[in-house]
Structure 1
Amino acid sequence: MKKLAVTLIVATVLVITGTSAASKTINETDTELCETLKYALINSLREPIDKAINEIYKDDQEAPEGLSWASFQTEILKIRQLDGIGGTYEITFKVNPYYRAHITYGEDKVVVNSDGELIGYKHLKTYPKVHFN
């Protein structure tokens, strides 16, 4: 009986003083985790966003050559869950295409799903083109 009591006491002490096995996310970036995840999501969907920008401006005779966009200037407007937790999501972005040294040319809404498919897009605004000598 004494052996059982000692064994239980030792086991209880070990359980109480034992180290936790909980894991912690390591963020090795210059931004907070939430911002890091935002940029990772945006960059992972770069291809369909590029496709939308090309489609939006392909017939614009005034559009500068080499329009680009930056993830740090892109807003996530909405994330809609389509198929339940862990399923497909539909993400709506506001993208500001630019030329040269980040001179904004337009504002567009782009909808992409989490599988990397372009769902739709809408041109919202065109800014006047800056002419250089």
Structure 2
Amino acid sequence: MKRMIVVFVVMFSLVSHYTFAYSKTINEADTELCDTLQYALINSLRNPIDKAINEIYKEDDDAPELLSWASYQTEIVKIKQSNGVGGIYEITLKVMPYYGAHNTYGEDIIVVNSAGKLIDYEHLKTYPRIDYN
């Protein structure tokens, strides 16, 4: 009986002194955490987005030679789970390529997966090119 009481007291003391550890994400960026995660995701997909832009504008004779794009001008339109939680995701992005001092040249929808593979792309609109010479 004494042994049972001792075991109970020891177990109670161990359980009553258990402290929970809560962790907080440290955000060392100039934006809110949600925006930071969005930009990090978009930037991690830079290679397939560059590939899609090159494919879209390779036949366009009026396209500026050095088209670029910015993650802060890119919109995530949709994220679709392909293989369940933790699997591959399809990310649909609206990208607005620019030239020079951020002169927008077009609007495009680009679909990539979270593994960095280009799935599909669609050109939506071309803006008139402005030369400042």
TM range (shorter): 0.7 to 0.9
- Name the counterpart of 2:24: 24
Matching of residue 63 in structure 1 with residue 84 in structure 2? no
SS of residue in 2 equivalent to 1:87: coil
Name 2:49's counterpart in structure 1: 49
Q: Which residue of 2 aligns with 1:38?
A: 38
Aligned-residue offset at 1:11: 8.0
- Measured after TM superposition, the shift of residue 30 of structure 1 is 0.9
Count of residues paired in the alignment: 133
- Cα deviation for residue 120 of structure 1 reads 0.5
Cα deviation 1:59-116 (Å, max 9, x = unaligned): 1000011000000000000000000000000000000000000000000000000010
Provide the C-alpha distance between the structure 2 equivalents of 1:8 and 1:21, rounded to a whole number of angstroms.
25
Hey, what's the Cα distance between the residues in 1 that align with 2:113 and 2:91?
Answer: 6
Q: What is the CA-CA distance between 1:131 and the residue it aligns to? A: 1.5
Q: How far is 1:43 from its partner?
A: 0.2
Residue in 2 that maps onto 1:105: 105
Q: CA deviation at 1:20?
A: 3.4
> Where does residue 131 of structure 1 map in the other structure?
131
Structure 2 equivalent of residue 95 of structure 1: 95
User: Corresponding residue for 1:82?
Assistant: 82
Instruction: Provide structure 2 residue ranges, at least 5 long, that are not aligned to the other structure.
Output: none
User: For residues 16 and 65 of structure 2, what CA distance do their matches in structure 1 show?
Assistant: 66
Query: Deviation above 2 Å: which 4+ runs of structure 1?
Result: 7-20
Partners of 2:11 and 2:22 lie apart in 1 by: 20
Q: Distance in 2 between matches of 1:39 and 1:9?
A: 53
Please give the per-residue CA displacement for 1:45-71, whole angstroms capped at 9, x wherever unaligned: 000000000000001000011000000
Instruction: Tell me the TM-score normalised to structure 1 length.
Output: 0.88
CA distance in 1, matches of 2:9, 2:32: 44
User: Per-residue displacement from partner, 1:6-54 (whole Å, max 9, x unpaired)?
Assistant: x988986886676531111111111111100000000000000000000
Aligned mates of 1:49, 1:24 — CA distance in 2: 32
- The one-letter code of the counterpart of 1:117 is K
Structure 1 residues without counterparts, runs of 5 or longer: none
User: What is the CA–CA distance in structure 2 between the aligned matches of 1:32 and 1:11, rounded to whole Å?
Assistant: 44
